[in-house]
Structures are given as C-alpha cells and as structure tokens.
Amino acid sequence: MLAAVSKRLRMSAEAATLAVAAGLLYGVQDALTRVSGERYTHGGLATLVVSWQPYAVLALGVTGLVLVQSAFETAPLRMSLPALTAAQPLAGIVCGVGFLGDRLRTSPGGAGLAGGGAGGDRGGHRADRAASGDAVGNVGGAGAGSAAALM
C-alpha cells in the first residue's frame, strides 16, 4: 500500500515512503524468522519445511529488497536511509510485543534518552529477556507457545 502511495509523491517523499515500507517488511521478517527458528528447534527440519513461516520470510525479504533498492535509486541515500533505519526496529518491536508475547521494560532515564533520539536501541526500551532467561526474548516462561499466533 505504501509503495502505491509513494508513486503519487515527489521524489524525496517517494524514497522515504518506499524505505518505510521496506523497513516495516523487514521488521515483520524479523519476527517470522524468530518463529521459524522456534519451529525448527521444537520440531526439526521436517516441521520447518511444511510450515508457512520460512516461505513468508523469503517473500518478505525479496519484496523488501526490491523496495529498498527502489528507494535508494529514487533519491539520494540521505532521503531514504533514516526512514528505513527507524521503521525496521519499530516494526520488530510491535511484532514482538503484539503477537510474540514480549514485554517492554523501560527505565525513566532510558525512556528520556530514547524519546530524545539519543538512545537508539540502548535507550532502555527492549524486550524483557531476563524474566525467563530465554535467549529469544520470550518472557514469563512462555516458551514456544508465545508465537502461537503465527504458527
């Protein structure tokens, strides 16, 4: 949808819009990659091959690549790269919190840094991985069931 809208905009806005679209796809791809890894861990290669997630990862990756290359060709890199850089982690956070069961943990200082744009990924906003000790960010002992919405 963003790609179609971008064609009606001036070149600099078109590049930024295409980059946002690519960043959003990359964020969703990140979440589906995590789900694919969980499926492989719990069911092996046979389970992974018959599930839809790895194929969606591939399709999202190719589509995102086409969009980002289009953005880079449309206008100078300074017009599209910031949008791509911002959209990808935000989409990943929304996917993680929205349907993978992650929780955000914030601290007053970290929230201030992130809000001011100086903190980036270190601004205190991150998936709370300490609660369960799970390497993929599941919290509260949710384990593989936290990705049930995508399975």
CA distances from residue 55 to 32, 51, 58, 62, 146 in whole angstroms, order as listed? 10, 8, 5, 11, 20
- The model's pTM is 0.65
Binned at pLDDT 50, 70 and 90, residue 7 comes out as low
The β-bridge partners of 91 are none
**Residue 65: is its pLDDT beyond 50?**
yes
Match 């991985």 to its residue by tokens: 129
What CA–CA distance (Å, rounded) separates 51 from 45? 10
What CA–CA distance (Å, rounded) separates 38 from 53? 11
**Residue 82: is its pLDDT beyond 80?**
yes
pLDDT, position 4: 60
The pair of structure tokens assigned to 75 is 């206008």
Listed by start position, the domains of the chain span 1-100, 103-141
pLDDT, position 127: 43
**Residue 133: is its pLDDT beyond 50?**
no
The pair of structure tokens assigned to 113 is 């840094």
Alpha helix positions (H), 52-99: 53-74, 77-99
Q: Is 151 helix (H, G, I), strand (E, B) or coil?
A: coil
Which helix (H) or strand (E) is 31 found in, with range?
helix 11-49
pLDDT, position 150: 52
